[in-house]
Each structure stands twice: as C-alpha cells, then as structure tokens.
Amino acid sequence: MDKVTSYIKECETEFMQLLGLTSFPIYEIAYKDISLSVSDEQGYDSLGSAHYDYKTGKHTLTVWSNIHTLGEVGKQTIFHEFTHILDDETYVNKDPEKYIANHGYTEYHAAQIGFLKVLGVKSIKQNISFSMSDFIDTESGYMSIQDYVDAPLLLANELIGHANFPTEFKVLKDTMGVIFNYFGRRSICKMYSKDYQDNADTSTIEKPLTHAMCSFLKTYLIGVLTNQQIAVLGKFYKDMFLALVNRYHV
C-alpha cells in the first residue's frame, strides 16, 4: 500500500474509533493537485472533497496527492469528508431529493467532527473542555479557537459580499455549506467551551437566509441532532435552498 493510501486507512480506523462505528461505507480514493489560482479566485479550495453518486450509491473521496505529508492536520480534512460519506450513506441512500435536503445537515455535522479532530479527541465518550483563547493547529494554520470558529462565518460574509452574489449555482451551494460549517463549529463551543460567548454578527448571512431563518437555525443547530431532527432540518433546508435558487436565478 502506498503512503497516502495507508494514511487514509489510518484515518478511517481513527474515525471509526472516534464515533464508535463498527463499519464504514466503501469508497474509492481519487487524487488531485491543489490549484492555487482556484484558491485565490474563490477564496477556498479544500485539500479534499467527497462525492456521492446518488444514482449508483458510489462514494469517491478526492484528496490532495500529498495530503499525508501534513500529518495530523491533514486528517482534519479527511475526517470532515468521511462524515459526508457516512451521512450520504445513512441519510441519502440513493434518493436525489434527500441528497439536496441532507446538504445543510452534513456540513453542520462534518464541521463538528472536524473540530473534534482538531481538538485531538479520540472518542466522543471522553470529557471535552476548552477555552476560546486556546491555540490549535489547523489546516489553515496555528490560531486561537475563537478565530477558528469565526473563520467560516467570515468566509460566508466575504462570499455574500461579492458583487453579483451568487454568480453561479456552485457559489450559492458552497456558501450555504460554509454557513452550516459555522453553525457546526459554534455548536461544539456551546457544548464544550468554558467561556464561549454567542454574540457573533450574523447580519450578512441574514441577507440570503433572512432574519427569521437565521434565528431558527441558531436555536435548532445545537448539539447532536436526532434522526427526527435531521429529517426536519432536511425539509427546512431543501425548501430554503430551492427558494434561494429561484430568487437568484442560478
């Protein structure tokens, strides 16, 4: 087995230990080179992505071909993407309508699991506690937990602030994903931080979401969601997202 494949297999074992899983969906691994120009233009280009073909049920994990050289930090991305694979398998299961509905939840969930990996958590059963001023090693650099939690909100603000937002469907979808990543990181702080203050300025994301929807998400996206809550969120997300597609004509 080559180095990057054994690194990904090691991540899979650690991921299953973290969540107490006894099995994990079958997936294919694909490799990519990171494009700095894409990253500069869009302001984001992740080290990895997961793709689910809802017609065949096939999962593909695409990662940067040198991701193993990043050590522990690179595992944060893989944990995020593994969560998408798990959620697509569990909640979409070849249903195209559910594929859209699941997008918000799975970004919330993947951000939670990625954050736990950043914190060095080995099992969700262990005690977790941190301060917002603690420093952490992340795929975006060494930073305070406060900055880590604020990062997706600031990125969403930047994307929404662009002229002619959203220029295309992908930008709208990615922006929604980043917003749910923010709520995922926020939820971990609400659960485990000693000194989190929930007072971020969400006025920019309220422009596409509306104040009412944003308020709903702030109260609903707390902790670990039950299957029933995930289903309710899925319906909410699908209606909200399709309304945005119509409103912005993308």
178 is an interface residue for Zn ion by CB under 5 A:
no
How many residues touch Zn ion under the rule CB under 5 A: the total is 2
CA distance 246 to 242: 6
230 is an interface residue for Zn ion by CB under 5 A:
no
* Distance in Å, CB of 64 to Zn ion, minimum: 15
* Distance in Å, CB of 111 to Zn ion, minimum: 7
Nearest to 99 by CA among 49, 54, 50, 51: 54
Length of the chain: 250
**Angle, nearest 10°, between helix axes 96-118 and 169-192?**
50
Residue closer to Zn ion (CB basis): 7 or 180: 180
Q: Cα dihedral sign for 241, 30, 77, 161?
A: negative
Site string for Zn ion, 93-122 (x = CB under 5 A): --------------x--x------------
217 is an interface residue for Zn ion by CB under 5 A:
no
Any idea what the Cα angle at residue 88 is, between residues 47 and 44, rounded to 5°? 25
Residue closer to Zn ion (CB basis): 47 or 160: 47
* Distance in Å, CB of 107 to Zn ion, minimum: 5
* Distance in Å, CB of 90 to Zn ion, minimum: 15
In which region does residue 64 sit, left (phi positive, over 0), alpha (psi from -120 to 50) or beta (all else)?
A: beta
Ranges of H-type helices in the chain: 3-19, 36-42, 72-87, 96-118, 145-161, 169-192, 206-209, 211-220, 227-248
* Distance in Å, CB of 126 to Zn ion, minimum: 24
Residue closer to Zn ion (CB basis): 68 or 109: 109
179 is an interface residue for Zn ion by CB under 5 A:
no
8 is an interface residue for Zn ion by CB under 5 A:
no
* Distance in Å, CB of 177 to Zn ion, minimum: 6
Residue closer to Zn ion (CB basis): 136 or 176: 176
Q: How far is CA 52 from CA 108, 110, 140, in A?
A: 17, 15, 26
* Distance in Å, CB of 80 to Zn ion, minimum: 5
18 is an interface residue for Zn ion by CB under 5 A:
no
CA distance 223 to 37: 37
**Angle, nearest 10°, between helix axes 211-220 and 227-248?**
160
User: Which 51-80 positions form the footprint of Zn ion (CB under 5 A)?
Assistant: none
Residue closer to Zn ion (CB basis): 181 or 202: 181
Residue closer to Zn ion (CB basis): 89 or 134: 89
**Chain residues that interact with Zn ion, rule: CB under 5 A:** 107, 110
